[in-house]
Structure 1
Amino acid sequence: MNKTTGGAIAPAEVSIAASASSDLTRLRKLITGLFLILTFYGLYFARDFFMPVVLAFLVAMTLTPIVRFLRKRGIPSPLSATLLVLAFASVVGLLAYMISGPAISLVSDAPSIGRTLTERLQQLQRPMERLNEVLSQFDRVTGGVTDPDIEQVAVAQPGVINRAAGTLLSGATTIGITLVLAIFLLASGTMFYEKIVQSFGRMSDKKRALRVVYDVEREISHYLLTIAIINWGLGVCIGTGLWVIGVPNPVLWGVMAALLNFLPYIGALVTMSVVAVIAVVTFDSMSYALLAPAFVLFCNTMEGQFITPLVVGRRLELNAVAIFIAVAFWSWLWGLVGALIAVPLLVVIKVFCDNFVSLQAMGNFLAAQQTIEREEELPPPVETPVNAGL
């Protein structure tokens, strides 16, 4: 083997080392890709397990500031966690009971609502009547008219009641697991912080880990609780306004507006469209009917452009493209529940990425605008001593 003077490494050995390093990098990328694919498959096929777990963590992080506030006032975490989760479940159950009747009635009246909507929109279709007549004549010439002597048979799908009962049982199980797990997470206090600190050996690593954990937990819990309160206020405002206008079932539309507002852009559009249909069917005057969707649009615009940026701040604003991709992905993965939690999960990922240098590129991609690096913050004071060897 040829070596240069002074014990320098030969070019051949340098080439071999570079090739080995390149192969190792490709292998790591391949393993990471396979891990992500397996994770997605696991989330999809084991959604009955992962869904309540993720929901429980989101509920726990949302209620954490309240539990922390009550703990400072001398109320134990297990007691406050139990009372808060029970109150949360009671409010959700009460709202579900209040909107169940109007929702069932709305579904049963859907055919008549469709016919009434068609009649009301006839005045907007007058310029198209000539075209519709031409198309009808073309249908008759090409045999598009159904022979009245041909009997059409509609085959009812069997097992509808069984599927509905199974869906209801699965939903009740998911809610039960979510609430119980949320109670345990809230009641655990600083146990997770102690475990994280204990997993590091050096004092500097312990302090950095504790700072990052507190930072992530504080920002996420503040965001989730604030957004939940804002959405609740938006629902109350829209429901009250629609009640004043005279739209039937305003509680139903207020709850729908509050829930769908977790879907930026999409939720407001869906709420406005549904309210527009109900208003057109309800009121005789078309101009007065358009007042209801205009009010919904006004409320959502004020919330999205002024209230939320003012209260939450613009640092946690997300890229619109990332929002649509996340909503589409989680909708495919977990349906409506996945769509509703897509944006909160995206915020969790962004906050986590912002706290690690190697992941800040991903955090900047998810952000709506280039974020300014924050100055290093001191860790918040630990409320209870962490006996982890610090």
Structure 2
Amino acid sequence: MKSEFDPAGPSVPPEPVPARDRDLRLIRTFMLGLFLFAVVYALYFARDFFMPIVLAFLLALMLTPIVRFLRKRRVPEALSATLLVFMSMAAIGTTGYFLSGPVVELVNDAPAIGRRLTERLEEVRRPFERFMEVSRQVDEAAETTSEPDVQRVVVSQPGIVSRAAGNLLSGSTTAAITFVLSLFLLASGTMFYEKIVQSFTKLSEKKRALRVVYDVEREISRYLLTVAAINTCLGIAVGTGLWALGMPMPFVFGVAAGLLNFLPYVGAAITIILVAVLSIVSFDSLAYALVPPAFVLMCNILEGNFINPLIVGRRLEINAVAIFIAVAFWSWLWGFVGALIAVPLLVVIKVFCDHFESLSHVGNFLSAQQTAEEEEESKEEAQHVTP
């Protein structure tokens, strides 16, 4: 019988969740937290093992479209993979060789550059001199009032030569493992796809798994190759423009602009600051010294707001909060290399999550804000999957 005041009738209270189900949920959440903690722990302390593997997979994904294109022209996958990997090694080695001289010179001239920059920014620095003087007096007072019998313990650190030799050996080992593993991945062809299909029993599950794997691989490969090409063109444009403006070491800043552009927002800011510092100490006119960093800023604005969205598209854009969190996390985990691969790994995770309904909320969180028309276009693109 319906209530007089409630036309819909008396509401039915929700059924209580059994205590066993609540305990199972808590256990699953706790186990998931332990698993994530163990993964982060392993990635941090076993970085020398995991870093070249991740780099190799990203490099193989980036070069896969070229291998597929050459395979359609009857070029064997083993031959094309070998040529591409050796060409990549030669390009990186040649760039590193030409960069070594200017970078060493820049490091040796760092004290002189610092003094020159201090002199040029003397007018900006004067308002802060009083504050620095007060801070110095406070430090001296704290030292004089401290206990005289307190001894300072200084932990000796390894020398610069030892650290440089260790870093060179570690970097060479990582590069060797990366290139060799990427060569095997590219030369293996469709072996991994066949293994994935063989792990399912039903034909419908095999088709779905193959469709998802091919779509994820296709989108990620296209994204990585396109972004790498765009960043290379950006580096060439920045280096050529700085050379035309009379900046010293334009090749170094061109490479830095292309490499650091894998870090959205942060990389462009670092490049502009570096160019501004060297420009201020290199040119007599302070007004003309602002032209090179303004040129780099203009190039990054054109690339980030027009060229990249036009070529790559907006479906794979990541929101700024997720980018900053990822860059901070991976830079803490693996240093500079981790910061460079943070955004590509985010794109990999987003594309993977978009293909599974249970993980769609994660992909939605990572994606950037889109208009209604862009969301409709993204759905249409996601539906047109070609295995």
User: Which TM-score band applies after superposition, normalised by the shorter structure?
Assistant: 0.7 to 0.9
Seen in structure 2, the aligned counterparts of structure 1 residues 279 and 141 have a Cα distance that, compared at 3 Å, is: closer
* SS at structure 1 position matched to 2:369: coil
Rounded to whole Å, the distance in 2 between the matches of 1:44 and 1:141 is 40
3-state SS of 2:299 partner: helix
CA distance in 2, matches of 1:158, 1:190: 47
Instruction: Measure, in 2, the Cα distance between the counterparts of 1:97 and 1:139.
Output: 43
Task: For residue 27 of structure 1, report the CA deviation from its aligned partner.
Answer: 1.5
Taking the aligned partners of 1:134 and 1:312, their CA distance within structure 2 comes to: 49
Alignment partner of 1:226 is 2:226 = yes
Alignment map for 1:5-24 (pairs within 5 Å)? 18-24=18-24
Please name the residue that 1:73 is paired with: 73
* 1:93-138 CA distance string (max 9 Å, x none): 1110111100000001000000011111124445x3xx73686489
Note closer, same or farther for the CA distance 1:203–1:249 as it changes in structure 2 (3 Å cut): same
Please state how far the C-alpha of 1:163 moved relative to its aligned partner: 1.9
Matched, 1:132 2:134: no
Aligned twin of 2:104: 104
Question: 1-side partners of 2:329 and 2:139: how far apart?
Answer: 43
What is the CA–CA distance in structure 1 between the aligned matches of 2:54 and 2:155, rounded to whole Å?
40
Say whether 1:374 aligns with 2:352.
Answer: no
In structure 1, runs of 5+ residues without a counterpart are: 1-13, 148-153, 382-390
Question: 2 CA distance for matches of 1:297 and 1:134?
Answer: 32
Structure 2 residue runs of 5 or longer lacking an equivalent are 1-14, 145-153
- 1:216-270 residue CA offsets vs partner (Å, 9 max, x unmatched): 0000000000000000000000000000001101010000011100000000000
Is structure 2 residue 63 aligned with structure 1 residue 63?
yes
Equivalent-residue separation in structure 1 for 2:210 and 2:138 (angstroms)? 77
AA paired with 1:339? Answer: A
Matches within 5 A, 1:293-308: 293-308=293-308
Cα distance in 2 between the residues matched to 1:137 and 1:176: 53
Q: Matches of residues 189-208 of structure 1 in structure 2 within 5 Å?
A: 189-208=189-208
Q: Provide the C-alpha distance between the structure 2 equivalents of 1:355 and 1:139, rounded to a whole number of angstroms.
A: 59
Secondary structure of the residue that 2:121 maps to in structure 1? helix
CA RMSD of aligned residues (A): 2.4
Query: Match of 2:268?
Result: 268
Per-residue CA deviation, residues 304-331 of structure 1 (Å, 9 max, x unaligned), is: 0000000000111101000000000000
Distance (Å, rounded) in 2 between the aligned partners of 1:323 and 1:132: 37
In structure 1, the partner of 2:12 is none
Letter of the 1:360 counterpart: S
1:377: Cα distance to partner?
3.9
The change in CA–CA distance for 1:359 and 1:138 in structure 2 (over 3 A counts) is closer
Separation in structure 2 between the aligned mates of residue 305 and residue 33 of structure 1, nearest angstrom: 38
For residues 38-95 of structure 1, the C-alpha deviation after alignment (integer angstroms, 9 at most, x for no partner) is: 0110111111000000000000000000000000000000100000010011001111
After superposition, the Cα gap between the structure-2 partners of 1:133 and 1:323, relative to the gap in structure 1 and judged at 3 Å, is: closer
Residue of structure 2 equivalent to 1:282:
282
Quote the Cα distance in structure 1 between the aligned partners of 2:247 and 2:38.
48
Quickly say closer, same or farther: Cα 1:73–1:123, change in 2 above 3 A. same
Cα distance in 1 for residues equivalent to 2:53 and 2:59? 10
Give the Å deviation of 1:29: 1.5
Other structure's SS at 2:53 match: helix
Deviation at 1:139, TM superposition (A): 5.9
Q: May I ask how many residue pairs the two structures share in their alignment?
A: 358
Kindly provide the amino acid, as one letter, of the partner of residue 183 in structure 1.
L
The change in CA–CA distance for 1:245 and 1:362 in structure 2 (over 3 A counts) is same
> Distance between the aligned counterparts of 1:134 and 1:200, measured in 2?
70
Query: 2: CA distance between counterparts of 1:33 and 1:80?
Result: 43
Counterpart check, 1:35 vs 2:41: no
* Cα deviation, residue 166, structure 1: 1.2
Evaluate the alpha carbon distance shift between residue 278 and residue 142 of structure 1 in structure 2; reply closer, same or farther with a 3 A threshold: closer
- Deviation per CA, 1:164-210, whole angstroms, max 9, x where unpaired? 11110010000000000000000111111101111111111011001
Q: Is 1:211 aligned to 2:211, yes or no?
A: yes
Q: Percent identity between the aligned chains?
A: 62
- The answer to whether the 8 A contact 1:272-1:297 is kept is yes
Cα displacement (A) at 1:142: 9.2
- Quote the Cα distance in structure 1 between the aligned partners of 2:130 and 2:327: 42
The 3-state SS of whatever aligns with 2:247 is: coil
Q: Which residue of 2 aligns with 1:11?
A: none
CA distance in 1, matches of 2:138, 2:34: 58
- Report deviation, 1:374: 2.2
- In 2: Cα distance, 1:218 partner to 1:134 partner: 57
Structure-1 residue corresponding to 2:356: 356
Q: Please tell me the residue identity of whatever aligns with 2:21.
A: S
**Structure-2 residue corresponding to 1:388:** none
In structure 1, what is the Cα distance between the partners aligned to 2:140 and 2:31? 59
1:210/1:379 contact within 8 Å kept: no
Cα pair distance change 1:191/1:22, threshold 3 Å:
same
User: Once structures 1 and 2 are overlaid, which stretch shifts more, 371-380 or 263-272?
Assistant: 371-380
Letter in 2 for 1:374: K
Please state how far the C-alpha of 1:298 moved relative to its aligned partner.
0.2
Cα distance change, pair 118–215 in 1 and its aligned pair in 2 (3 A): same
